[in-house]
Chains A and B, each alone.
Chain A
Amino acid sequence: SSAAMAALRGRALLAPLGARLRAGPRAPLRSAASSSPPLYDVVVSGGGMVGSAMAAVLGHDIHFHDKKIALLEAGPRKEYDHMPDSYSNRVSSISPGSATLLSSCGAWDHVCSLRLKPFRRMQVWDACSEAMIVFEKDDLDDMGYIVENDVIMSALTKQLDAVADRVEVFYRSRAVGYTWPLPSHGCDTSPWVQVELADGRRLQTKLLIGADGHNSMVRKEAEIKNIEHQYDQSAVVATLHLSEATDNNVAWQRFLPTGPIALLPLSDTASSLVWSTSHDHASELLAMDEESFVDSINSAFWSNINHSDFIDTAGAMFRSAISLLKPSGTAVRQLPPSVAGVDAESRAMFPLGLGHATEYVRPRVALIGDAAHRVHPLAGQGVNLGFGDIACLAHHLSAAAFNGSDLGSLKHLLKFETERQRHNVSLIAATDVLKRLYSTTLAPLVLLRTWGLQATNALPPVKVRI
């Protein structure tokens, strides 16, 4: 897989301003001033959590005070004054860094007033051994927050309204075509990116930001190569009811040979399920009756069926060795709550895959979120990577605006790409490796990861980095 790793690093290996292929077989528009489509400084294509947050953050930036931003969203407007009683089955684990970003555009306050669940602790353990790792912050701060995606969307919609003089949101508007400008020197044609919408309307923009998900049309039209891999797994999500009320401020994840199962707290009595498993098993889980479904979940978390004596002994030996060196190095394993029921209609499944664009930017184009990178949910990182992209890109665009630069200039876009690829590639690769490592029952690999997990649990510096 070193070839894949090298390919993942992509642009970082090549000279920064090396020849970038100019994509786009379509003929660009001539500069007919009278019938020119409206010109925006930035168009964000894709109004999901990441696209909306990008538009909201730019809209609240002081150096964008007089700029024109457009957000294109294929679906309808989503806003709630209060949440429905039942929880949505699509939730995200929001890191403190992401919370800070949402705070910067005023959205976090709305999230807090709708609903969210902070968690203090994360316990991750192996189904094939006793090995586990516990993440906990020393200070009593929250490690992260479990928030329904609808809540985040509603908060962002409110904050987009607040800057409506700068940000124009086009709901129910799908982009169907993009036209790229020719190389900048010496031409009479428009230097801007042309965007064509499904209803025939056209826009022009100085910078196009692709936030249109892992099947990104922006990325495809720009002919940016994407490293893709479909996992043989789907994720099953559901909203679960716990057997008894509890503090429920721990996020649980157990690695089964078929895939990781995670329980994310929603409230004192409810948790969200994310169970990554084979396609067949996922379909079975969706089809079975409620009681069997609940039994499967409890069994997945509690059963020791995958243990072998050999592994247990080896693991125990290692643990005693560690406790000699570092007496407090092994924490007590807590037991996850047991599940009593599931919300009807809340069971759903979606396929999982890995994706990484070899380039995040082109002249006048930048990719963020799943359009740039797609990860396995086991690390709970997905949307946080996207928010990290936003923080980085917004920082560079803000500086560029304050310098009077052309927003679509490759110079600052490349800085964004370098910073984010450096950060994302190692995390995506690590997630992929973890996924593969934990997909086996072979003793040597189990031992390896068992000892690795135990050692990592005992070593504070490594844990903090994660």
Chain B
Amino acid sequence: QLSLFRFTVKRPFSTSHSSVDSKEMKKFQLLAHKWWDEEGEYAALHSMNDIRVPFIRDTLLSMSGNYHLGNPLSGIKILDVGCGGGLLSEPLGRLGASVTGIDPVEDNIRTADRHKSFDPVLAKRIQYKSSSLEEIVEESMETFDVIVASEVVEHVADLEMFIKCCSQVLKPEGSLFITTINKTQLSYVLGIVVAEKIMGIVPEGTHEWEKFVPPEELERLLESNGFSVRSVRGMLYNPLSGSWSWVQSRSLNYALHAVRAGAPAQSHATDTLPETDVQQRSATAGTAG
């Protein structure tokens, strides 16, 4: 679910090019033990499973020919980036997939490992690793059928690098699922002011509006990095009922499904103008919505 950031303590990497943000780390460390309280701080994420799991499941089922009774995702290798405490990894594992969950916060991984350990079926199907996405690229080239990055990209420092890494670890024609928050006036008012400060649906300080990603921007980045965007759908959380639903508008939350092209992805030199990207982002900041 959550962020990617550095281990400045453990790994002697240089800090310049990374999709990870060190400030994000602290926020989630404090809440590492709260993941599995369905009615606690992460209640909205728990109930998000009710729409994001069917979305992933049905999309994959419609793309594949086989159906294994009782295990619809059997045989599929999934990477859950920013898996947090494993809230999304576990349902995917229960549906038969082999899941690798990665998250830079060690405490999250520890919580996730402990939680899955009591269920022998899940313990076998899910592997957790304390790591950022870049750190696993080398050993996982074209390994996964599916990548799931749910509630992650709004915490990421370098979105384009993140997308490139996704492309590298995905098999050709593999699927990428993203859920995130749009950058609009509405998302500021509802997503930050109301959700964090007033109603406490999301722990305060979780999100920074500046880092929200408009779907047009995300689509552009994906298309220019070898992905074909198949669908974008708006999501809405009802705090009274505590449940999510699909809506027409993408002004708040949205989900996206993209497929990596079959042909080898076009290579972009890594120093192709990150400044340009920054300029473009700030240019669209006021107008997205």
Hey, which bits of chain A sit against chain B, CB under 8 A?
17, 31, 33, 39, 62-67, 183-186, 188, 190-192, 206, 401-406, 409-411
Contact = CB atoms under 8 A, between A and B. Distances in A.
A285 to B, nearest CB: 53
8 contacts: A62-B70, A183-B37, A185-B34, A401-B94, A404-B57, A405-B91, A406-B90, A409-B38
B72 interface: yes
Contacts of A188: 114
B40 A185 contact: yes
A185 B36 contact: yes
A122 B75 CA distance: 56
A31 B119 CA distance: 11
A185 B114 contact: no
A39 B70 contact: no
Interface in B74-102: 90-95
At the interface, is chain B mostly helix, strand, loop or mixed?
helix
Size class of the B contact interface (CB-based, 8 Å)? 20 to 34
Given A184-B38, A190-B118, A192-B118, A404 B33 contact: no
Interface string B126-151: 00000000000000000000000000
A283 B275 CA distance: 94
Contacts of A185: 33-37, 40
A31, A184, A185, A409 pick with most chain B CB within 10 angstroms: A185
A67 B91 contact: no
Nearest 10 pairs of A and B residues by beta carbon: A65-B70, A404-B91, A185-B37, A66-B70, A404-B94, A65-B69, A404-B95, A186-B33, A184-B36, A185-B36
B161 to A, nearest CB: 31
A403 B50 contact: yes
B36 to A, nearest CB: 5
Given A186-B34, A403-B54, 9 more contacts: A33-B117, A62-B70, A65-B69, A184-B37, A185-B35, A185-B37, A405-B94, A411-B46, A411-B47
B242 interface: yes
A404 B39 contact: no
A403 B37 contact: no
A61 to B, nearest CB: 9
Contact of A404 (B93, B115, B242): B93
A62 B94 CA distance: 14
Contacts of A183: 37
A404 B70 contact: no
Contact of B39 (A17, A66, A191, A406): A17
Contacts of B69: 62, 65-66
B126 to A, nearest CB: 12
B49 interface: yes
B154 to A, nearest CB: 24
A403 to B, nearest CB: 5
Nearest to A403: B53
A405 B118 contact: no
Nearest to B32: A186
Contacts of B114: 188
B120 interface: yes
B71 A66 contact: yes
A182 to B, nearest CB: 12
B50 A17 contact: no
Contact of A191 (B40, B93, B118): B118
A273 B89 CA distance: 57
A312 to B, nearest CB: 56
Interface string B101-116: 0000000000000110
Nearest to B97: A404
Interface in B27-69: 33-40, 46-47, 49-50, 53-54, 57, 69
B120 A39 contact: yes
A403 B91 contact: yes
A58 to B, nearest CB: 12
